[in-house]
Structure 1
Amino acid sequence: MGIRLISSAVASALAIGVLLLHNTVVFPIAIAAVSMILMFELFRAAGCLRYRLSAGIAFLYGGVLPFLVYFGKSAYRPLAAAIACILLFATYILQHTRMSLFHAIMLVFGTLLIPYSMCCCITMNGMDGIHGIIYVVMALCGAWLADSGAYFVGTFCGRHKLCPKISPKKTVEGFLGGVLTNGILFIAFAAVYSRIMAARGDVFTVHYVTVCLLGMACALIGTVGDLTASLIKRHFQIKDYGNIMPGHGGLLDRFDSVLLVVPFFCAVLQLTPLYSY
């Protein structure tokens, strides 16, 4: 437990430092680093790292994409993704005698999903000069707080297993508790944030219904991401994706729900506001 707490404290300190520097080049550097670590852990679990040329193309794309978004070159994202896919399939053709279709698909899957999802943090940060970083914090909390809420509710009230063959510890009660907790925490966060900003002379309206529903949706989507990652681990017969975070496992073990929640959160923000003046 001590190692787990120390690991969490170090990770939290690093995350806070990056968020405080969200308007500097440190932000895309951190997003690129996280993206490549997540890709590395997934590819290692799937046995894709043996295909060095393909993995190198994937890592290059994951490292470059955050800087395209950060420096306002998002229009090039589809082109970059298309080129990455073409090159990956080209390497599959070159290595078809020793690369299976499964590995080719896993490489394309990880290359397209992970960098895109993580770059949504940069997109949200740039949406609004005032609220941008708050959107990022809310999206990340939407993924992680639901898991904590589900854990505590499930520990004390859990009776019925949610998906016993995939994640034996998850319960229906914990899942529902996580969804409800997320909605309540999102409302509380928005209320406190609006009052802090009002005290600084920045008054705006909070759309509490949207905030609450978004928080609950993040909990639901985060569970899908978590269970999917658990199912993949069971398929590869591994306990964790890595050991970069002692007591927690790999970075992908902590970001599995984030990979679905963040792009969903970003898409919702482009359709409806959480705060308005």
Structure 2
Amino acid sequence: MLPVERRKEILNTLLEEGTVKVSQLAEKYGVGVPTIRRDLKALEGQCGVQLMYGGAYIDGSIANENAIELQLAQKQVEHIEEKRIIAEKAAELVHDGDTIALNSGSTVEFMLDFLQDKKNITILTLSVNVAVRATTMPEITVYMPGGKLRNISGAFVGTYTNDFIKLFNIDKAFLGVMAVSLKKGVTHSSLEEIETNKTLASVSEHCYLVADYSKFDKIAMSKMFDLSLFDAFIIDDKIPQKYIDYAQNNHIKII
């Protein structure tokens, strides 16, 4: 198991149970106590995680500041059917020889399941999980920027990440999102992820919103994109009608 995957599981345990003990985690994952201490240190400050003697706990007063991101971390495996349907529709837009960008999140990760028969695809991804899975696919060349890795999302962010992204000319960017509203557009709780996703969009000829119905009518801390950025909304059949009306009135395709 990669450290980022183990840390996600530890974070989910903290969110569900409120506290964890170093000794129990070391036994569960078959690693040494120093490794778990490093994991907890890496998680400190994210989603209200605070260290204590022999373990860690969630400080609810801090956690509430990022309520939407906490909710996503807890519900990462929900809406699987909708996400797979969306991912399949998105993958149909990818043609042999394309250079595409996938930011992070489970929906864009599911796209890999439907790219198996594509030829000569280049993927630039912010996601560790996407990169690891894509390396098993012989017809896909993967590029992943360096920089700072956010433990909660498994995405690279920061100045080095953004500079690397600017080296590319992307045909199609498939952008998973945290929150969408007509009033505020696409919003996110991390300023660093906002800046990196903006950079990704800026080097892409076409941008596609990839989101299931649970992401709509939500507003996170700061704005990331205007809805007018997107060539198409790749969605399921449960999103509110007002978003379909908006797309039709603004020459955005519904897929």
Larger Rg: 1
Smaller-chain TM-score range?
A: under 0.3
Higher strand share: 2
Which structure would you say has the larger RCO, counting Cα contacts within 8 Å and 6 or more residues apart? 1
TM-score (norm 2): 0.27
Higher helix share: 1
